Structure 1
Amino acid sequence: MTSRDLHHAPLPVNGSSPAFENELRTETAANLTENLTANPAEQSADLPRLINSVILPGFVGTTVPQWLETALENGLAGVVYFSHNIDPDAPEQVSSLSAAIRAANPHAVIGVDEEGGNVTRLQSRDGSSIPGAAALGALNELATTQAAGRAIGRLCRDAGINLTIAPVADVNTNPLNPVIGVRAFGTDTALVSAHTAAAVTGIQSLRVAACAKHFPGHGDTVADSHMDTARVELTMAQMSEFHLPPFQAAVDAGVASMMSAHIIIPELGEAPATLNPAASALLRDMGYDGVLITDALDMAAVRATVGPGEGGVLALLAGNDLLCVGNPLNAYTTGRDDESCYTEVYDALFAAATSGRLPLEVLRRAAARVQALAQWSSGDITEGVDDDVDWVSVAARACRFDSPGAKPALTGAGSVTLVDARTGHNMAAGPTENFLATALGSYGVTILDAAELSGAEVEVALMQSQASPAGSSTVLVLIDSLASAQQLETLELAFTTAPQAVCINAGLAPASPTGFATVHAHGFSRVTAQAIVRVLESA
């Protein structure tokens, strides 16, 4: 095999030996090193491309801005799409955008947070058509999870995307976790491990790289790392027993990329895992030699301490390969445009590389891994599974009913009073529409937003709904956290006023019944909302 053949050879998705993959990546890195000569003048010319090759920024708009086109032509690794890059009213827009990006850089990595369920970018306005991890874990059918992975992979591939930053491999052992929750397959390590591997296999059957996150495990935190520094107060022995196995399962399934977490594990030191060489060494010791992607550098553990630029330097020195810059429209990036978010990281890397603080070999090794992923994703699809899955039925089968009496039901075309008791949105998912109100469209829905009304106003409105001359309205109370005192207060008020109400729990399901008539949907998206209606209509 010639060096040119090695440079273009696709990496196998599954079933290849780690030794073969390591050999291929090593030789690819050697080829890249040969291209960066020892001549200082030529090295200086190559350095901007080499630095660009490890940066993955976001951008604003549904077309390629000029600064991004120039960076892509100069070797930028690729981009991450966010919902503001997607025009849901133009079906061909995303694939055209991806084509324009690859016209500037044919080897671009185009990534997106497409988990299914609560977290979607490609279907953010209307909600995901694919159940999320918690619903799949509750159903516990590995073939169905693998099919869901294929559906995500197909959605991405059709849009010209070759990296989905999924699945979540975290074990959600802390019920107060504000950012993982229903994004995880569950609380049991063995279950999460099995479903992580199934999801990876399904996604990568479409030559879309999966990305298991958030290494070494974000499931036992009580802080959202978007907004604060998150700590995991566990020993490494506990991490190894409960939180590392799903990542090992992803490695064994041939996962193409991993995402490091901005979490502090005291036994590894006080640096967040993304900036901590001990964390990346732990991952490499598990036999992984693929691309390690940082969580967004605009998140609090980096943004509010060393800053995204220095954070990028430290992340590469710690063993990461690809720097996810973040969403330039996040509230905490106010006052900075998309280009400046990118240049802050680029300039810091350039300064560190020219000073010798960031060795070229670190950049070369990282670039080689990213290049290998891009080359693999351009290979032929060999798996021809054509799934025909009724995902609403899947989500409905995953629902759990708690009912102290007869099962509540929706009947006929009556009216529904929907009390939205939710108190905010998950930063990873972003603000969403009320998919349940949409799914209930034929019922004549009255929405009571508890966040905008006083308890007395909610009570009066519910009493009126029960005293309507046309007959009492079915009352549904939508919550997403049974740990929220405010949501529980609204829930209790609703059941006191309308005892036949039904709680729709879009969050984590408790181990024991709630005491209220409840449908546990294990997430909130278009498909789960439709499933809730189907469950209530068939009760």
Structure 2
Amino acid sequence: MTSESTPTVRRDVLAVLSPGFVGTELPEWLAELLRQGLGGVWLFGQNVVDDDQLRRLTAQIHEANPTALVCSDEEGGTVTRVDHVRGSRWPGPWAVGKVDDTDLTRDVATATAARLVSLGVDLTAAPVADVNVEPENPVIGTRSFGADPELVSRHVVATVEGLRVGGVVGCPKHFPGHGSTTQDSHLTLPTLDASTEVMAQRELVPFRAAVEAGVECVMTGHLVVPAHGSAPATLNASVISLLRDDLGFDGMICTDAIDMEAVAQDPGREEAAVQALRAGVDLVCVGNPVFPQEYDAEADVLALARAVEAAIEDGSLAANRVAEAADRVRHLGARQAERRRAAEPVEQSADAVPELGLRAAAAAIDVTGTIPALTLPVIVGASSSGNMASGARQEVVLSVLARHLEGTVVDLSDAAEIDSQVIVVVDDHTPFDDDTVSALLHHADVVVHTGIRDLAPGSVDGALVRTFSGGLASALAAASVLGSGDKA
């Protein structure tokens, strides 16, 4: 902090920052910043060992600052933090959207919230409100409810309502919409190449529905909207005004992580934080200090705070703008603290996948062809990469199928030597044009596809089982179908 800053300004500046940290215990530097008024903390997989450890950690955070927002990414499917070790106990949004039962979606969200409340989590960066009309989208895919704005809208609303009933703040993302892009904002700066008319009829529809449903928080995306200038949406007052003025949102606006390359490279994290606040954002999500690149979390958040204070002092950022943002963060944090105190304890097994999760995942399964009776199959994962936003990836599906079908997981490089029954697991990151993968798909007795992209006609000779989701619940649903055998 700068020497000239007043205690009020210092507290407001801290209130608009929410960093991650390294480790599974609350570091003293972070506890001290929380006592001084830090707005929130983001939890990632590297912060979580098990439920008991997580409860102790979140209790320490709330003891240091009762109104601090403990935040996490709990989308279901491939994206989870609290269940990253075993995989999500809920199917992902695309699978839920395929079922298209809003009562089921609402129930899943309510149950998800109950689990998060039991672990001390206040806010989840979900639901994904992006309309995924681009099959080649490298970062959204199964994280979206679908490609139809109205379908996405009704499931975004059901999720927001369910999370609220369960006691957790939902935070639809990535405003104004990441679903039609072909680049990943973790790695570069994407462009939302759509006219204002198309955006109004497509990208903005789910966010408008969420606002009308009373959502309390919205997360911005790091993407350029040419109709609103060259600045990324997170740093762009014109885009933020779409949310505030056109959609009428008066709740808390949170950034996507500013350690993502889309803004971390240019203008850089410190300047990005200042520009985001100037544009109208309220809470700056700093990101995960161990992935994809390591950095000093303490030094980083202190540098961000100094940069914001310096901008206030030189007049490039209005102090009342930061005060307004801080008030929104504290107001939501205080409201969530009341909800925590009023919440009824919910007994949940740390290991079992709820029947609701299995039922929702099973309802999305689609089978083409006839599944043979499987005896000690070999299971091969045909994707070497994963979604940058994901926690548990293809390995969850591989291990579940191996365990439940008494099979063996074999590396793709060894697949050519297989002479037993073969199950190949693919997703949207599988290199389908690779000769080895192509040959393996023809050789496989069963292909399990967890993504949204359609496979080329004739590329699979055996049965095709589509889950439209990764994670534990969808893997168990697939294992159940495969274990039944001879299922048309």
**TM-score exceeds 0.5:** yes
1:493 aligns with 2:439: yes
Is 2:484 the counterpart of 1:484? no
String of CA shifts for 1:217-241, please: whole Å, max 9, x gaps.
0000110000011111111111111
SS in 1 for 2:172: strand
Count of matched residue positions in the alignment of Structure 1 and Structure 2:
472
Change (3 A) 1:43 1:310: closer
- The question of whether the paired residues in 1 share the 8 Å contact of 2:382 and 2:430 is answered with no
State whether residues 171 and 187 of structure 1, in contact with CA within 8 Å, keep that contact through their aligned partners in structure 2: yes
Structure possessing the higher radius of gyration over alpha carbons: 1
Query: Aligned partners of 1:386, 1:194: CA distance in 2, in Å?
Result: 30
- Given that 2:133 and 2:147 are in contact with CA atoms closer than 8 Å, whether structure 1 keeps it comes out as yes
In structure 2, the partner of 1:337 is 296
Whether the 8 Å contact between 2:130 and 2:178 is mirrored in structure 1 is yes
Of the three residues 177, 184, 198, the one matched with 1:238 is: 198
Task: Please say if residues 380 and 398 of structure 2, whose CA atoms lie closer than 8 Å, have aligned partners that are also in contact.
Answer: no
Q: 1:529 is matched with which residue?
A: 475
- Cα offset, 1:386, TM superposition: 11
Match of 1:68 in 2: 30
**Are the equivalent residues in 1 in contact too, given 2:431–2:437 (CA < 8 A)?**
no
- Structure 2 residue 327 is the aligned partner of structure 1 residue 361: no
1:367-516 map, 5 Å: 367-380=326-339, 389-403=355-369, 407-411=370-374, 414-430=375-391, 432=393, 434-440=395-401, 441-450=403-412, 453=413, 457-459=414-416, 461-462=417-418, 464-465=419-420, 473=421, 475-481=422-428, 484-486=431-433, 489-498=435-444, 501-510=445-454, 516=460
Cα distance between partner residues in 2 of 1:390 and 1:409: 28
Task: Please name the residue that 2:351 is paired with.
Answer: none
Q: Give runs of aligned pairs for residues 91-240 of structure 1, distance below 5 A.
A: 91-240=51-200
Given that 2:81 and 2:391 are in contact with CA atoms closer than 8 Å, whether structure 1 keeps it comes out as no
The code of the aligned residue for 1:161 comes to V
Q: Is the 8 A contact 1:189 1:243 kept in 2?
A: yes
Q: Alpha-carbon deviation of 1:433? A: 6.2
C-alpha separation between the residues in 1 aligned to 2:334 and 2:234? 25
- 2:257 is matched with 296
Check conservation: 2:137, 2:182, Cα contact below 8 A. Answer: yes
SS in 1 for 2:380: strand
Contact kept? 1:126, 1:433, Cα under 8 Å: no
Cα deviation for residue 182 of structure 1 reads 0.1
The question of whether the paired residues in 2 share the 8 Å contact of 1:259 and 1:295 is answered with: yes
Residue 482 and residue 520 in structure 1: after superposition, are their counterparts in 2 closer, same or farther (change >3 A)?
Answer: farther
CA contact (8 A) 2:383 2:429 kept: no
CA shift in 2, pair 1:482/1:69, >3 Å: closer
Partner amino acid, structure 2, of 1:337? D
Give, in whole Å, the separation in 1 of the partners of 2:113 and 2:275. 32
Q: CA deviation at 1:430?
A: 3.7
Does residue 348 (structure 1) correspond to residue 295 (structure 2)? The answer is no
- CA distance, structure 2, for counterparts of residue 512 and residue 246 of structure 1: 31
SS state at 1:519 partner? strand
Counterpart contact for 1:207–1:379, Cα < 8 Å: no
Q: Report how far residue 483 of structure 1 moved.
A: 7.3
Say whether 1:83 aligns with 2:45.
yes
Tell me, in whole angstroms, the C-alpha distance in 2 between the residues paired with 1:248 and 1:386.
35
* Aligned residue identity for 1:429: S
Query: How many Å apart are 1:448 and its aligned residue?
Result: 2.5
Aligned-pair distance for 1:256? 1.0
* Counterpart for residue 36 of structure 1: none
Confirm or deny: 8 A CA contact 2:80 2:392 kept in the other structure. Answer: no
8 A Cα contact 1:217 1:244, kept in partner: yes
TM-score normalized by the length of structure 2: 0.92
Q: Show the counterpart of 1:320.
A: 281
How far apart are the structure 1 equivalents of 2:56 and 2:156?
A: 31
**8 Å CA contact retained: 1:125, 1:433:** no
TM normalised by structure 1 equals 0.84
Shift of 1:181: 0.2
> Structure 2: which 5+ residue stretches go unaligned?
349-353
Which one-letter code corresponds to 1:519 in the other structure? V
Secondary structure of the equivalent of 1:258? strand
Counterpart of 2:17? 55
CA distance in structure 1 between the aligned counterparts of 2:283 and 2:319, rounded to whole angstroms: 15
Shift in alpha-carbon separation, 1:243–1:386, aligned structure 2, 3 A: farther
Distance 1:503 1:186 in 2: 22
Quick one: structure 1 residues 108 and 312, their matched pair in 2 at CA, closer, same or farther if it must change by over 3 Å?
same
Percentage of matched positions with identical amino acids: 37
CA offset digits 1:299-326 (Å, max 9, x no partner): 1121111111110000000010000001
Residues 25-81 of structure 1: CA distance to partner in whole angstroms, max 9, x if unpaired? xxxxxxxxxxxxxxxx99712221110010000001111111101111111001000
Matched, 1:260 2:220: yes
CA contact (8 A) 1:54 1:363 kept: yes
Distance 1:385 1:138, change over 3 A: farther
Q: Give 1:385 deviation, angstroms.
A: 11
CA distance in 2, matches of 1:401, 1:514: 15
Secondary structure of the equivalent of 1:115?
Answer: coil
Deviation of 1:481 (Å)? 1.9
